[in-house]
A and B are shown apart, each in its own frame.
Chain A
Amino acid sequence: MEKVSALIDGELDEHEIEQQLSLFKQKNDAQESWEMFHLIGDTMRGDSRISPDFSRRIAERLALEPTMLAPPRRAVRPVARYAMSIAASLAAVSVVAWVAFSSNPLNAPQAPATAQLAATAPGASEQLPNTNSQGKMNEYLLAHQGFSPSTAIQGVVPYIRSVSVSQPPQNR
């Protein structure tokens, strides 16, 4: 528990911090020490005025929240000129389909049936797009496109997205 005390004071190095944080879930007394030591510090500073079951109540609410899935962050480059790099392969023709989010959603061609959900959210409940949900997504997209300005600019062209039919990709 002395490590928890040092952790709170920001006196552990990065590696130790990681170690300690991982232990929290397993060791209930680490959690208890964290809360208790913070209470002591706050009380010494005159911050003690919150009801004791606040933590419990917020824990209950947090449990109801969807687990956050933050996509991997990328550094923003200063805008000089757009470099157009499009996959120019007209030879690989396949059915347009939905792809589950991966850490590289933009360029890597993926077979929809086996795509894995975000590498950024281990432990979050995952769902692979199956035939059923692909159809549903298309219905939503169809409904959405009637209201999108960028769709309107191109007339009916973008609707090619929403009539993709869930079939195994046919690679030539």
Chain B
Amino acid sequence: MGDREIDQQLVERAQRGDKHAFGLLVSKYQRKLGRLLSRFIRDSTEVEDVTQEAFIKAYRALPTFRGDSAFYTWLYRIGINTAKNYLVALGRRAPTTTSLDNEDAESLEDGDQLRDLNTPENQLMSRQVAETVNQSLGQLPEELRTAITLREIEGLSYEDIATIMNCPIGTVRSRIFRAREAIAEKLRPLIGTSKDRRW
């Protein structure tokens, strides 16, 4: 996956002192990791705390990351350990995780039945976000919707999408971008933007 290249570049920048690069990785994986850890920890505020701790631990352990595995795999292991330690510290039993430890980080995400774990406020917000995204998707011209779905849900490369949609790669790239922009426009009033965040 082209993912690995950009993760590797971001990690190397972070290892040279670029905190902002690490921040980009956080933005990318925060929800994915949060979802993983919510398998262990029921309360959603606690999940966020533990997710945050996992990212900090990963940041501190950066010098030891050598790129033999994908960044997310490494992050995922740190996340699981953080969650386990957290539960142990609180005297709670962790769910049996032997099967979880051995599974591929990617395959873990499929067929997952999530329980409704959010606090009322988070629930409302994420439901609104989900609704807005779905609504905007529905309103997109078909070729844009198809392109972004093949990319985000099916995980296909631009080249494969171009083959399926029988169009040039450049067109795929442009369609995916326009789809994202259209949805983003509807989302911005909802979640606001944080232009003044500093790393």
Contacts and interface: CB of A to CB of B under 8 A. Distances in A.
Interface of A: 1-2, 5-12, 14, 17-18, 21, 24-25, 28-29, 31-52, 54-59, 61-63, 65, 67-71, 73, 120-124
B146 interface: no
Contacts of A47: 31-32, 34-35
Interface string B123-150: 0011001100100010000000000110
A55 B199 contact: no
Interface string B1-24: 111111001100111111111111
A61 B184 CA distance: 27
9 contacts: A6-B158, A12-B6, A45-B152, A49-B31, A49-B126, A54-B34, A59-B198, A68-B17, A124-B17
Contact of B177 (A6, A35, A56, A68): A6
Interface in B139-191: 148-149, 151-153, 157-158, 173-174, 176-177, 180-181, 183-184, 187-188, 191
Interface of B: 1-6, 9-10, 13-24, 26-28, 30-32, 34-35, 38, 44, 48, 51-52, 55-56, 59-60, 62-63, 66, 109, 114, 117-118, 121-122, 125-126, 129-130, 133, 137, 148-149, 151-153, 157-158, 173-174, 176-177, 180-181, 183-184, 187-188, 191-195, 197-199
B63 A24 contact: no
A67 B109 CA distance: 32
Nearest to A121: B17
A52 B5 contact: no
B174 to A, nearest CB: 7
Given A9-B2, A10-B3, A123-B18, A50 B9 contact: no
